[in-house]
Structure 1
Amino acid sequence: MTVPNVVNVLLSGIVGSTAYGLAREGSDVDRLGIFATPTEQLHGLHRYTESHVTTHPDRTLHEAAKWCRLALGGNPTVMELVWIPDELYEVRTPLGDELIGLRSAFLSAKKVRDAYLGYATQQFRRLEARGDGSFSADTRKRTAKHARHLKRLCHQGLELYTTGRLTIRVEDPEAYHDFGERVAADSAAARPLLAECEAAFDEKHSVLPDRPDEAVVETWLLGVRARFYTRGSEQ
């Protein structure tokens, strides 16, 4: 994939509904990636750009350090990039492969629980704010989408918390779409799922450590800085 105006892309791929197996006709194709700023620019007078976001096509690229910080915080959106199926990668460099290989170093029990359950709760609050389903077709469509996200975040978060692995593609896409339609008709239909998710996080044992392995992440990032030390160097 050619990324306009951004060089040194280390890893990029298709995420979102396509990766989950939830895409339908007309669904957007979302792309996420990581790039490296030439190291000398990190010390210059002008602040470097940490993220490049475009629409049509929908693409988000984070600078390597920012991506690492977000991933260490358990951010579900950025973490997808290092767990998607191989066929969904469009740019995959040796440094990108290294990052995939150390993806478990970013994980910790508390961060995963807080991030996934927190994002799921945010989705539920959005649903509650829309009331009883007596709204426009467009709003109903967005509500169903948020409900699918809530269900996915609960499932994937618990999987990551209890097994240390993340399966991006959902097992039964139609069940997610059906859930979305039920919640679009009545937002209260999402409440039992969120309550079950909260209880499961409280009851289940996590295989994840108390803290992520920041030393491993730092070593990788310093390797990126060394690779792009020369001004104008590209992958």
Structure 2
Amino acid sequence: MAIEGPQLPVGTQVVLRVAGSDDVGGTAQRGATGRISGVTANGRYDVRLVDGRSTTARRDQLSLRTAYQDEAIEVAAPDVLVRERTIYAAVVGSRAFGLDTDASDTDTRGVYVAPTEAFWSLAKPPTHVDGPEPEWFSWEVERFCELALKANPNLLEVLHSPLVVTCKPLGQELVDLREAFLSQLAYQTYSGYVLSQFKKLEADFRRDGAPKWKHVMHLIRLLLSARTLLAEGKLVVDVGDDRERLLAVKAGALPWDEVERWRLGLHEDLDRALQKTVLPATPDVAKVDAWLRSVRRISVA
């Protein structure tokens, strides 16, 4: 049985969230500390405890050591916030981009609203939650707005995904507000990220003879999306007619030089689009802030 979701690497320091049997017939107590030493055939983690004993545990029975103390004073379980207070969620990634294959994961991203009173507590609600379902990641609404206002592509695409999973009334208000997040900051965030990542990919190419082609494909896709955003003032998630060429990049079917020319041409397109863009220089922070304040007022438990 394979482990669902991101795996904990061997050597990761963890804390047991529940007691369990050890390898010498005793009990590994809740709160015991150890390191991941492997994965069992049935999908559990082998944990080597600090006293030399070993035990096994499921992922949900383990906490990262660095997070355990924070979890100990949590008032509300993060899973509850996602399950009960999500206002919007959508599928992102290859399925939303129109680049999916039979082997593609279904990646879902959501936004939840923590009760306003939770911010008055010693233990503040989490700014994000990984889970509770596999490939599901969520942000608390305030953190989501902060990152989206900075033109973070991952968050902007959530609001423009054609594959909506959940949309409550507050979620619809957030979607209706999505144009307020768009600005010329996208030029820096999109092109800057691609430039930094391509430097790493070029190093991979020189060292290994080939880059990570799937990553290359998604970087080109980001530039295509940014070009439309700057030129037309709208964010289009589906790649449309570029699908086959992008999948050829993913398969490593295009020579690196051709991909590099495509990338450089797209950067030039972005430069030209920026000169004529209809997007404002900065996002409408006041409009988003006013909406967030209204959400906090009506979310007093």
TM-score (norm 2): 0.68
> 119, 123, 129: which one pairs with 1:46?
123
Change (3 A) 1:55 1:21: farther
Distance 1:37 1:46 in 2: 12
List gaps (5 residues or longer) in structure 2: 1-77
> 54, 58, 82: which one pairs with 2:159?
82
* Greater CA drift, 4-13 or 153-162: 4-13
Aligned to 1:118: 192
Question: Percent identical across equivalent pairs?
Answer: 32
Note the alpha carbon deviations across 1:18-40, whole angstroms, 9 max, x for none: 10111112211100010011101
Change (3 A) 1:50 1:42: same
The answer on 1:60 being equivalent to 2:129 is: no
> Larger % of helix: which?
1
Distance 2:123 2:132 in 1: 26
Tell me the CA shift for residue 43 of structure 1.
Answer: 2.1
SS of 1:167 mapped into structure 2: coil
- AA of the residue aligned to 1:161: L
- AA of the residue aligned to 1:128: E
* Greater CA drift, 147-156 or 126-135: 126-135
Distance 1:55 1:20 in 2: 24
List gaps (5 residues or longer) in structure 1: 231-235
Distance 1:22 1:133 in 2: 28
Runs of 4+ in 1 over 6 A off after TM superposition: none
- AA of the residue aligned to 1:224: V
> 203, 220, 226: which one pairs with 2:291?
220
Tell me the CA shift for residue 45 of structure 1.
Answer: 1.2
Aligned to 2:88: 11
Aligned to 1:99: 174
Distance 1:123 1:29 in 2: 24
SS of 2:193 mapped into structure 1: helix
Change (3 A) 1:90 1:215: same
1:127–1:187 contact (8 Å) kept in structure 2: no
Tell me the CA shift for residue 15 of structure 1.
Answer: 0.7
- AA of the residue aligned to 2:249: F
Distance 1:92 1:223 in 2: 18
SS of 1:130 mapped into structure 2: helix
Note the alpha carbon deviations across 1:94-148, whole angstroms, 9 max, x for none: 1111111111111111x1101111222233223212115857xxxx7x8121111
Tell me the CA shift for residue 164 of structure 1.
Answer: 1.3
> 250, 264, 268: which one pairs with 1:180?
250
> Larger % of strand: which?
2
- AA of the residue aligned to 2:219: L
Tell me the CA shift for residue 153 of structure 1.
Answer: 0.5
* Greater CA drift, 65-74 or 117-126: 117-126
SS of 1:49 mapped into structure 2: coil
Change (3 A) 1:74 1:115: same
> 155, 173, 184: which one pairs with 2:224?
155
Tell me the CA shift for residue 55 of structure 1.
Answer: 8.2
Tell me the CA shift for residue 46 of structure 1.
Answer: 1.6
1:120–1:149 contact (8 Å) kept in structure 2: no
Distance 2:79 2:115 in 1: 17
1:39–1:228 contact (8 Å) kept in structure 2: yes
Distance 1:154 1:39 in 2: 38
